[in-house]
Amino acid sequence: MCRNGSDRMAALFSPPLYLQRYQFVIEYVKRFIPRKVIDLGCADCGLLRKLKFHRNAIEVLAGVDIDCAALRERVNALAPLTIDYLQPSPRPLTIELYQGSVTEREPCTQGFDLVTCMELIEHLQLWEVEGFSNVVFGYMNPCAVIISTPNVEFNPLLPGLRGFRNKDHKFEWTRAEFQTWALGVCMEYGYSVEFTGVGVAPGQNRDVGFCTQIAVFQRDAGVSNGPVNNAVQMEPTVYRLLYRVVYPSLCDNNIFQRTLVCQVLYRAESLKREFELGEQSMQSDLTACAHSLPPDVVAGSTVVYRHRSHVFVPLQHVWTDPKVQALCGNIHRLRQALMDDSRVQLDTDRDAIILPDEGEEEEDEEETGECEEGNLTPSPVVDNSEEDWETEIG
Amino acid sequence: MDPNRPPVPPGAARMPWLPPAAGRGFMIDPPPLGRARGLALAAAEPETGRGRGRASAAASEPPVSPFGRGISLPVPEAQVGIARGMLPPVEEKGLGRARGSLSTSLEPQVGMGRGASLFMEPLAEPVPPVKSQMLQLPEAVSGLQEERVEEKKTPEKFEVDIPDPGSSLVSMIRELGIEPSKSWGRGAAPMGRGSVGGLAAAHQSLVSSVGFSSVGAEEPFPEGMTLRGTSFVGRGMVGAGRAPVSPVGFSRGPIASPELPPGPITPPPVSVALAGPPPVPVETTVAPVKVEAAREPLKKAGTKGNSITIGSNYIPIRCKNEAVFQYHVTFTPNVEALSMRFGMMKDHRSTTGEVVAFDGSILYLPKRLDEVVHLKAERKTDNQEIDIKIQMTKVLPPHCDLCIPFYNVVLRRVMKIVGLKLVGRDHYDPSNAIVLGKHRLQVWPGYSTCIKETDGGLYLGVDVSHKVLRNDSVLNIMGVIYQQSPEHFQDECTKEFVGAIVITRYNNRTYRIDDIKWSKSPKDSFTLADGSETTFIDYYRKNYGITVKEIDQPLLVHRPKERSKPGGKQIITGEILLLPELSFMTGIPEKMRKDFRAMKDLTVHINVSAEQHTHSIKQLLQNINSNPEALNELQRWGLEISPEILMTQGRTLPMETICLQSASFVSSSSADWSREVVRDASISSIPLYCWAVFYPRRAAEQAEELVTMFGKVAGPIGIKLERPIRVELRDDRTETYVKSIQSQLTSEPNVQLVVCIITGNRDDLYSAIKKLCCVQSPCPSQAINVRTISQPQKLRSIAQKILLQMNCKLGGELWTVSVPLKHLMVIGVDVHHDVSKKKRSVMGFVASLNSLLTRWYSRVTFQMPNEEIINGFRVCLLAALQKYYEMNHSFPEKIVIYRDGVSDGQLKTVEQYEIPQILKCFETFPNYEPKLTFIVVQKRISTTLYSYGGERFGTPPPGTVLDHTVTNKDWVDFFLMAHSIRQGCGLPTHYISVYNTANLTPDHLQRLTFKMCHLYWNWPGTIRVPAPCKYAHKLAFLSGQYLHSEPAIQLADKLYFL
């Protein structure tokens, strides 16, 4: 619904008005850092798609719309990107889409920090608006609500417009009407409100206000209708969950472990390679020199060393990698994490990673290698009779 | 998102009938779309049948009936109208009326068109009735106008006479089945074109049926012409691609310009058909025989060999819908913007249903609407009320080619539903990623899937695929490169990145890096679609909340292939600039490819056995068939995917007898004769009297041992070998090698062979030696890596192999198989493309010179990108024929060409363009008309064959051939697996006989091909492709990769490139 009428207004506003509305929300998210955001009347999830990128600290993004087809349309654009798997984010993110009406109470919609409701209320019947206020402010009771709606005073400036901006609009409010409603809501549910908007009128027509009027509600401190958690659990779900995706993140233990082990092994392998290169150059210079240090010298050492057919890379060295540090915070946690992981082999003191020494390994397996096994089964009977394709061709 | 494009993906707006993935799919992958269209148009055929059916009915029934029908559906109208010219006057009236329903502005052209066609007719095909009908033309035109007026007065009348839909469906489908409707198109096309474009000269009767059909499809919708014009570019190209005579096909583009109203298309053969009462028999007599044959199932099944049960990675698909319905949608007044059209149609989902495929004017639904449906919409820009007319134009059988693109769209959605991610074109499963932390990459298992129609019907082709993704951004890797070689930093980066495919942090698209712009940085600005300027830093911050950390990085350039967007309106051009920091590499790193050990870590996961392959496929089928949402999605188009893979019967071709000089033996079941070739004498050996070995001092020992070993093993193979000139080099620098070889070749001009022992994998050294010995001072040369001869226990077999290889390079002959065809020349052609695409492509050409197929003549030509391959090919072919004549004192009577590297989409071009030029080439010699068989060789295909026995899948034995069910319905083709598989899956090679005047039967084609797979002398066994192709490949690779120029002509009759 956000883009309704955008055809007509495309010429008037740049960037287009719906993008300006999105941008307004993005800026708000940047400033107030909500964790859980729900968009009512999310239509094709345009705002959610934007917020997915401008997450800041958002961990739950939900969308509600009554039109199932519209929701499904671009649902795939909410799925994690390839890169989200390659480089899991440090923060979790869950995206959920529900089909349902904003005039119904749905337990899942409680406990959000921010509710956005862009160009939605004008699609409700006037008599439904009160129920809507009750659900959003009274029931969902989020910390903040952003509501936008057309400013009917602006309409004369829209070329060729007769009636409402969209056929489905049941009403379009003046600034006064909108503000009256909003202030009423504040009184009733304990919110305070600020009015603003997007879409500035061109030229001298400043007095008509913004094309889209926006009210930003903040819940008054201390006033919370308080989602009594137990009660929430009891209520039955009325919305239909259409889509849910959990982004890969380091908060998932498996993913964290995997990412850490990869980083550690990569670091250890490159240290081992450096060590081997050093060894080689030493060898060529002083072939007579003993190239492996006696084990007793080495215990508790902070240098890479070789023992038998293994290379030992001290954790201390691995720890120097900034990426490992970023993942683990401190070296004890690193040790702890690696201890139970079958992919990493630690020495008995848990001070070093043991890597197999592949330097000596026989590496070639001739591409043209022959099958040596005595596979001398007599070949099947062959048609040895003289053939003449010429006659067959005719 | 690409900075150079509008922030809203254009694909999305253009294709709202499809989910986002679908839109993208179409954009990324135009061929399917193009094909779909082309085929869509081809599907006009049933209508032609329909039209005819009615007209003939008219002959026996009261004229009211055809009239009514004609009105109800525009396509038949036109056809019938055309037919009128030929029919007795009774029909004329009704048909004239039908025509009358066309809009006013068209009238003059209609008349003109008809006139033109009639005049042309005698030229094309002298049909007796034509002349007498010509006189009636003016009448007809006037009658037509009258009728139109009348029609305007009583429009509702037409609704009344709508034929019973059920019966018309039946008849349509019947017609489709029975009739060789292509013939119809062919005959008709020249006339249609002529009348539309006034191209009286275009009288080749070889115009494509598709070409015609598309014209036909355009024709019934005059009002929609402007729009269709916009999308015409795409179609025109398709028509051309498939048309038997492409030049003519191309000329259709301009003809169908938007301003041109659709002229009536007058197909004379049909008119004749109409005249006769029993439609089908007459039709068959009229249709050219050639076309008729094309419509029948092609004879491509061979019989030789033993039957074997094989499976393949095809899954049968059942279509449960009775039909798919095609509608034409017109907007009055016209709505230009496609996005607006989509929006308006979307608002009427209650009428059309949720399952919709709509391109702006043509609408496909799995459900039947009324013949004509009128809907209302409001244009938001000016509140204009728009009338949307949805008119049924076709009833398509559900497995029709035309529907396959929608099915593939559905399939993509299904793949997403079962949790797979699209990367590039295929779907992968990140939850089962194999992480190779050591190499900083991940391997995602996945599938490459496609619904296609083959000889056996509709199938889902599934190939198991793996995507290698890297954990590092391009910027990270640049950092590593800088540390390693700061002095050659830019060159190294170019080498590493150009040609690589990257994905980005902010979308799921893949881009090929074509260049690096060192002068640019993220601080630079670019112009957005709305005309405003922004820097890259701001762009990514604003749109994706991404803060660019490194502000001094260069930018990567991706140059998209020039192609039109869907709808043909706009050509995508220009560059897309990407930030290294936000781009991530895919694919196996170049360095890793050369690292045997690292590759082993990787191939363990990538090379799957037949058992694993089938297991993965079955897993996918199970995931789909147990997911209600996925099933529902398929159900929308009435599709049902079988839970089992295709099992069928193939054959194993008879074993071949390998002939050495005097010994001969039957190839073993593993198709390996490495023991035999070193035990007995080769067919012929060139005695080595004077040859030189170059080696660096530290490889002196190995060199000596190798030479000694040569002496020991040369005897049994039949090679006479003198002691070589030994040249010890003081170091292993490239210049040292080059200088020594050069001075040796000058001082001793009789040197037959240069052997170089080199240390390490050194491309530059190899390249320098080859350039010297293949181009500057032509002399066969053999480079040997010291590592391969450093293991004493393997030295014997290595020495034997090298000796055989050296013999080939000198002009010796190793072994052959019997080919029971006389005066035969077999040619292999392959093209090597440079990865970075900057350099020219190289064509390797190899032709046999003797009846044993043991002497080969080879040539190389270079061509610029976009240059036609055929120009160079002619030069090579002429030279080879001359050489053949020198050797045999006659020209070959039969020529078989194996051409590698032709995609399905290019087959028609080969048939229509390359082959005529080849035939022309023969005219150079007086009275020379050899028989020609042209076989396209496709290695990179997704078909896999499995053997099946004891409840297990395995790899089929060498010589397994499959020539039915999964084969292409348009060509004589077969799949042959000639090689023996050690690890991995049975990947056959696909052979398509594009041209065959040698009349080789399917058995001959298959067996000749198998025989040719025995003749690659670098490998004592069968290989995947015919030996001449492999030789051509080797040659092209050597020339393109190392020589960068044509090798010396003196070497042309030796296999110096082995």
Amino acid (1-letter code) at residue B734: T
Tell me which chain A residue has its CA closest to the CA of residue B442: A86
CB contact under 8 A, A73 and B16: yes
The predicted pLDDT at position A115 comes to 96
Q: Is the pLDDT of residue B994 over 80?
A: yes
Q: Is B590 a catalytic residue?
A: no
Query: Percent of chain B having pLDDT more than 70?
Result: 70
Give the gap in angstroms from C-alpha A166 to the nearest C-alpha of chain B: 9
Interface probe with A: pick from B18, B412, B421, most Cβ of A within 10 Å: B421
Chain B residues with beta carbon closer than 8 angstroms to that of A386? 820
**Residue of B471, B507, B670 with shortest CB distance to A86:** B471
Q: Is the pLDDT of residue B552 over 50?
A: yes
Q: Is B382 a catalytic residue?
A: no
Is residue B685 within 8 Å of B807, Cβ to Cβ?
A: yes
Chain A residues with beta carbon closer than 8 angstroms to that of B1003? 392
DSSP state, residue B772? I
Q: Is residue B525 within a helix (H) or strand (E), and if so which, with residue range?
A: strand B525-527
Nearest to B963 by CA among B202, B308, B203: B308
Confidence of residue B201 (pLDDT cuts 50, 70, 90): very low
CA distances for A240 relative to A1, A97, A103, B110, angstroms = 20, 8, 14, 57
For A286-346, give the DSSP string: -TTS--S--HHHHTT-SS-EEETTEEEEEHHHHHTSHHHHHHHSSHHHHHHHHHT-TTS-B
The predicted pLDDT at position B838 comes to 63
The arithmetic mean of pLDDT across residues B62-85, rounded, is: 35
Number of neighbouring beta carbons within 10 Å of residue B771: 17
Q: Is B1019 on the interface with A (CB under 8 A)?
A: yes
CA distances for A339 relative to A318, A355, B786, angstroms = 15, 15, 44
Tell me which chain B residue has its CA closest to the CA of residue A364: B596
Rounded Cα distance between B307 and B301, Å, is 13
Interface probe with A: pick from B636, B651, B668, B931, most Cβ of A within 10 Å: B668
For residue A203, what are the contacts with CB-CB under 8 A and spacing of at least 6? none
**Residue of A69, A85, A393 with shortest CB distance to B999:** A393
> Do β-strands B824-832 and B894-900 pair in parallel, antiparallel, or remain unpaired?
parallel
Spot the catalytic one: B47, B147, B453, B830.
Answer: B830
**Residue of A73, A86, A269 with shortest CB distance to B442:** A86
- Coil/strand/helix, residue B782: strand
Give the gap in angstroms from C-alpha B998 to the nearest C-alpha of chain A: 8
Ranges A122-126, B436-440, B847-851, B997-1001: which has the least confidence: B436-440
Q: Is the pLDDT of residue A94 over 50?
A: yes
Q: Is the pLDDT of residue B633 over 80?
A: yes
For residue B1058, what are the contacts with CB-CB under 8 A and spacing of at least 6? B805, B808, B809, B1017, B1018, B1031, B1034
Spot the catalytic one: B900, B914, B963, B973.
Answer: B900
Rounded Cα distance between B444 and B605, Å, is 10
Question: E-strand spans in B963-1007?
Answer: 972-977, 989-996
Rounded Cα distance between B582 and B606, Å, is 27
Q: Is B790 on the interface with A (CB under 8 A)?
A: no
Q: Is the pLDDT of residue A355 over 50?
A: yes
The arithmetic mean of pLDDT across residues A348-373, rounded, is: 56
Q: Is B1009 on the interface with A (CB under 8 A)?
A: no
Ranges A23-27, B145-149, B433-437: which has the least confidence: B145-149
Is residue A266 within 8 Å of A355, Cβ to Cβ?
A: no
CA distances for B712 relative to A184, B689, B699, B708, angstroms = 105, 16, 20, 7
CB contact under 8 A, A388 and B1019: no
Rounded Cα distance between A61 and B898, Å, is 58
Confidence of residue B562 (pLDDT cuts 50, 70, 90): low
Which of the pair, A1 or B233, is modelled with greater confidence? A1
Amino acid (1-letter code) at residue B1048: A
**pLDDT (tens digit, 9 = 90+) per residue, A261-282?**
888 888 888 888 888 887 766 6
Tell me which chain B residue has its CA closest to the CA of residue A389: B820
The arithmetic mean of pLDDT across residues B961-976, rounded, is: 93
The predicted pLDDT at position B239 comes to 32
Chain B residues with beta carbon closer than 8 angstroms to that of A7? 340, 380-381
Rounded Cα distance between B297 and B177, Å, is 12
Is residue B514 within 8 Å of B527, Cβ to Cβ?
A: no
The predicted pLDDT at position B767 comes to 92
Rounded Cα distance between B481 and B430, Å, is 29
Mean pLDDT of chain B: 74
Task: Report which listed range, B395-409, B589-603, B845-859, is most confident.
Answer: B845-859
CB contact under 8 A, B801 and A262: no
CA distances for B421 relative to A80, B358, B417, angstroms = 9, 25, 9
Number of neighbouring beta carbons within 10 Å of residue B998: 22
Residue A353 structure tokens = 């990673």
CB contact under 8 A, A379 and B667: yes
Residue B442 structure tokens = 């991940």
**Residue of B438, B666, B821 with shortest CB distance to A390:** B821
CB contact under 8 A, A261 and B794: no
Rama region for B124: left / alpha / beta (φ>0; ψ in -120 to 50; rest) = alpha
Rounded Cα distance between A114 and B352, Å, is 38
Nearest to B700 by CA among B678, B732, B741: B732
The arithmetic mean of pLDDT across residues A62-68, rounded, is: 91
Spot the catalytic one: B336, B868, B886, B923.
Answer: B868
Q: Is B540 on the interface with A (CB under 8 A)?
A: no
Q: Is the pLDDT of residue B566 over 60?
A: no
The arithmetic mean of pLDDT across residues B1022-1043, rounded, is: 93
Integer-rounded Cα radius of gyration of chain A: 33
Residue B307 structure tokens = 């039957």
The arithmetic mean of pLDDT across residues A27-45, rounded, is: 93
The arithmetic mean of pLDDT across residues B645-659, rounded, is: 92
Q: Is B483 on the interface with A (CB under 8 A)?
A: no
Q: Is B549 on the interface with A (CB under 8 A)?
A: no
Rounded Cα distance between B798 and B754, Å, is 18
CA dihedral B55, B61, B64, B67 (to 10 degrees): -10
Ranges B32-46, B454-468, B600-614, B928-942: which has the least confidence: B32-46
Query: Percent of chain B having pLDDT more than 90?
Result: 36
Chain B residues with beta carbon closer than 8 angstroms to that of A366? 788, 794
The predicted pLDDT at position B940 comes to 85
**pLDDT (tens digit, 9 = 90+) per residue, B14-63?**
433 433 333 333 333 333 333 333 333 333 333 333 333 333 333 333 33
Per DSSP, what are the bridge partners of residue A305? A312
Nearest to B1032 by CA among B1050, B1009, B1011, B1016: B1016
CB contact under 8 A, B382 and A160: yes
CB contact under 8 A, A262 and B794: no
Any idea which residue has 């160079």 for tokens? B872
Q: What are the φ and ψ backbone dihedral angles of A351, each rounded to 5 degrees?
A: -110, -15
Any idea which residue has 């081992």 for tokens? A272
Is residue A331 within 8 Å of A319, Cβ to Cβ?
A: yes
**Residue of A8, A86, A387 with shortest CB distance to B584:** A86
Ranges A171-185, B183-197, B345-359, B476-490: which has the least confidence: B183-197
**Residue of B16, B672, B820 with shortest CB distance to A371:** B672
Q: Is residue B796 within a helix (H) or strand (E), and if so which, with residue range?
A: helix B792-810
Tell me which chain B residue has its CA closest to the CA of residue A47: B543
CB contact under 8 A, A73 and B349: no
Q: Is the pLDDT of residue B361 over 50?
A: yes
- Coil/strand/helix, residue B674: helix
DSSP state, residue B1038? I
Residue B245 structure tokens = 């005579």
**Residue of A81, A160, A386 with shortest CB distance to B507:** A81
Rama region for B638: left / alpha / beta (φ>0; ψ in -120 to 50; rest) = left
Q: Is the pLDDT of residue B327 over 70?
A: yes
Nearest to B54 by CA among B78, B36, B18, B32: B78
Is residue A112 within 8 Å of A129, Cβ to Cβ?
A: no
Rounded Cα distance between A252 and A274, Å, is 33
Residue A55, class by beta-carbon neighbours within 10 Å (0-12 exposed, 13-18 middle, 19+ buried)?
Answer: middle
The arithmetic mean of pLDDT across residues B357-375, rounded, is: 86
Amino acid (1-letter code) at residue B563: R
Task: Report which listed range, A76-85, A281-290, B734-743, is most confident.
Answer: B734-743
Chain B residues with beta carbon closer than 8 angstroms to that of A358? 597
Q: Is the pLDDT of residue A236 over 70?
A: yes
Ranges A129-133, A154-158, B559-563, B582-586: which has the least confidence: B559-563
Rounded Cα distance between B165 and B50, Å, is 13
Q: Is residue B76 within a helix (H) or strand (E), and if so which, with residue range?
A: helix B74-84
Q: Is the pLDDT of residue B261 over 90?
A: no
CB contact under 8 A, B801 and A368: yes
The predicted pLDDT at position B749 comes to 87
CB contact under 8 A, B670 and A371: yes
Give the gap in angstroms from C-alpha B877 to the nearest C-alpha of chain A: 24
**pLDDT (tens digit, 9 = 90+) per residue, B691-731?**
999 999 988 999 999 999 999 999 888 899 999 999 999 98
Which of the pair, B385 or A118, is modelled with greater confidence? A118
- Coil/strand/helix, residue B896: strand
Residue B1012 structure tokens = 């040719």
Query: Percent of chain A having pLDDT more than 90?
Result: 37
- Coil/strand/helix, residue B841: strand
Q: Is B964 a catalytic residue?
A: no
Any idea which residue has 């949790």 for tokens? B419
Chain B residues with beta carbon closer than 8 angstroms to that of A15? 530
Is the bond preceding residue B76 a cis peptide, omega within 30 degrees? no
Amino acid (1-letter code) at residue B823: H
Chain A residues with beta carbon closer than 8 angstroms to that of B430? 82, 85, 248
Confidence of residue B791 (pLDDT cuts 50, 70, 90): confident
Q: Is B900 a catalytic residue?
A: yes
The arithmetic mean of pLDDT across residues B116-120, rounded, is: 32
**Residue of B657, B669, B999 with shortest CB distance to A377:** B669
Confidence of residue B555 (pLDDT cuts 50, 70, 90): very high
CA distances for B2 relative to B9, B10, B509, angstroms = 9, 11, 10
DSSP H helices, B365-498, are 404-417, 474-484, 489-497
Rounded Cα distance between A138 and A117, Å, is 15
Tell me which chain B residue has its CA closest to the CA of residue A85: B430
The predicted pLDDT at position B71 comes to 35
The predicted pLDDT at position B563 comes to 57
CB contact under 8 A, A389 and B1004: yes
Nearest to B1030 by CA among B895, B863, B856: B856
Chain A residues with beta carbon closer than 8 angstroms to that of B20? 73-74, 76-77
Residue B623 structure tokens = 């995931």
Rounded Cα distance between B397 and A196, Å, is 58
Q: Is the pLDDT of residue A4 over 90?
A: no
Amino acid (1-letter code) at residue A179: Q
Which of the pair, B817 or A222, is modelled with greater confidence? B817
Question: How many CA atoms lie within 13 Å of B592's alpha carbon, on the beta-carbon side?
Answer: 17
CB contact under 8 A, B382 and A83: no
For A361-385, give the DSSP string: S-----TT----S---PPPPP---S
Is residue B187 within 8 Å of B125, Cβ to Cβ?
A: yes
> Do β-strands B501-504 and B583-586 pair in parallel, antiparallel, or remain unpaired?
antiparallel
Amino acid (1-letter code) at residue B176: L
CB contact under 8 A, A14 and B530: yes
The predicted pLDDT at position B399 comes to 80
* Cα first-last separation, chain A: 74
The predicted pLDDT at position B397 comes to 84
The predicted pLDDT at position B1012 comes to 95
Q: Is the pLDDT of residue B1008 over 60?
A: yes
